[in-house]
Amino acid sequence: MGESIAAIVLVVDDDELVRKTLSVLVSSLGYHCHAASDGLEAVEVLKATKIDLVLSDIIMPNMDGIELLSYIIKNHTDTDVIIATGYSERTSYADVIKAGAIDFIKKPIDQAELEAKLARALRERHMIRKLEELSMCDGLTSLLNRRAFDLRFPREAERAFRQNYSLFLALIDIDNFKDYNDTHGHTEGDQLLIGLSDIMREGTRASVDMCFRLGGDEFALILPQTTATQATEIVQRILLKFVESDYDGKTLSIGIISCIRDKSIKAEEDFAQMLKRADQAMYDAKHSGKNCVICRI
């Protein structure tokens, strides 16, 4: 019951008596509860508060339950929805699930049924999130993996443009890593990769910067809301700390770029160009004698 105690549920119903009754019921089951009288009010709550699950009526003024469901699917991917309808309404279970709801419940709502559906929905949500986290995690280093990078980099670049803040991307490659593996063996090579991962985590801002292992001996950093000077200092500290750790003289080549959105081309093409620029900066660092940082604004 640990995750259900922390879960936050939003009850949405235009009938004040139903809304208040459901709010009391949901709270009595151990969940934190918010309430809204229609879809538009629910949207404002969702913008202000991280909601785990929405329990919404389907027929409401201003924005009905299906419209609210569509908004949540598009804008709040971590929020699940249960739709409630009266027995006289024609919307079917299949219609609601097809629209993207996690479940469907008939009104008047039975307490035992609601308790079971909330518990099941949140339990499934917890399991799905855990599986998603595992699928995004590099098994050796516990950093985010290439799949996570491919999903998050475009999202972060778009968000930086939309909210008008700077974003930097750094690509990191271990110089002559194959030689280290050949000399010391793959077990020691794995320890070097783990060591670099730890240095990256320690040298970046928790819950702000993002560290990735893209594969092999190639790593990446996404650095939001930072200047070129600050971003360069972050990667230089990582480079210095790695060299000081003395992995048989191994060094890093790092390319770092400013991710400024070019709205004259398609987003996918723009993100690919950013990655290509970062890759070129990293190779320029290698061709400049390795063990250095090349920054391109």
Question: Are 279 and 201 in a shared domain?
Answer: yes
Residue 89 has pLDDT above 70, yes or no: no
Q: What is the pLDDT of residues 205-241, one digit of tens each?
A: 988 999 999 999 999 999 999 999 999 999 999 999 9
Categorize the per-residue pLDDT at 159 as very low, low, confident or very high, splitting at 50, 70 and 90: confident
Q: Does residue 103 form part of some domain?
A: yes
- Of 135, 161, 188, the residue that ends a domain is 135
The mean predicted confidence, pLDDT, of the chain is: 91
More confident residue, 133 or 81: 81
Mean pLDDT over residues 267-290, rounded? 93
Where in the sequence is the domain holding 75, given as residue range(s)? Answer: 2-135
pLDDT band at residue 94, thresholds of 50, 70 and 90? confident
Q: Is residue 160 part of a domain?
A: yes
Kindly state whether residue 265 falls inside one of the protein's structural domains.
yes
pLDDT of residue 48: 93
Query: If you average pLDDT over residues 250-276, what whole number do you get?
Result: 92
Q: Are 117 and 165 part of one and the same domain?
A: no
pLDDT at 93: 77
The proportion of the chain whose per-residue pLDDT surpasses 90, expressed as a percent, equals 77
Percent of the chain with pLDDT over 70: 96
Tell whether 215 and 286 lie within a shared domain: yes
Instruction: Look at the pTM and tell me if it is higher than 0.75.
Output: no
pLDDT above 60 (res 5): no
H, E, C per residue of the chain: CHHHHHCEEEEECCCHHHHHHHHHHHHHCCCEEEEECCHHHHHHHHHHCCCCEEEEECCCCCCCHHHHHHHHHHHCCCCEEEEEEECCCCCCHHHHHHHCCCEEEEECCCHHHHHHHHHHHHHHHHHHHHHHHHHCECCCCCCECHHHHHHHHHHHHHHHHHHCCCEEEEEEEECCHHHHHHHHCHHHHHHHHHHHHHHHHHHCCCCCCEEEEEECCEEEEEEECCCHHHHHHHHHHHHHHHHHCCCCCCCEEEEEEECCCCCCCCHHHHHHHHHHHHHHHHHHHHHCCCCEEEEEC
Residue 4's pLDDT is 41
The CATH number assigned to the domain holding 154 equals 3.30.70.270
Last residue of a domain, one of 83, 106, 135: 135
Give per-residue pLDDT as tens, 12-27.
999 999 999 999 999 9
Q: Are residues 202 and 179 in the same domain?
A: yes
* 16-20, 29-33, 260-264: least confident range: 260-264
The answer on 170 and 125 residing in a single domain is no
> Does residue 141 belong to any structural domain of this protein?
no
What is the pLDDT at residue 2?
A: 40
Q: What pLDDT is stored for residue 138 in this prediction?
A: 92
Select from 114, 135, 156 the last residue of a domain.
135
Q: Are 166 and 34 members of one domain?
A: no
pLDDT band, residue 87 (cuts 50/70/90): low
Q: Which is higher by pLDDT, 117 or 130? A: 117
User: Does a structural domain hold residue 234?
Assistant: yes
Indicate whether 88 pLDDT > 60. no
Shared-domain flag, residues 208 and 283: yes
**What is the count of structural domains for the chain?**
2
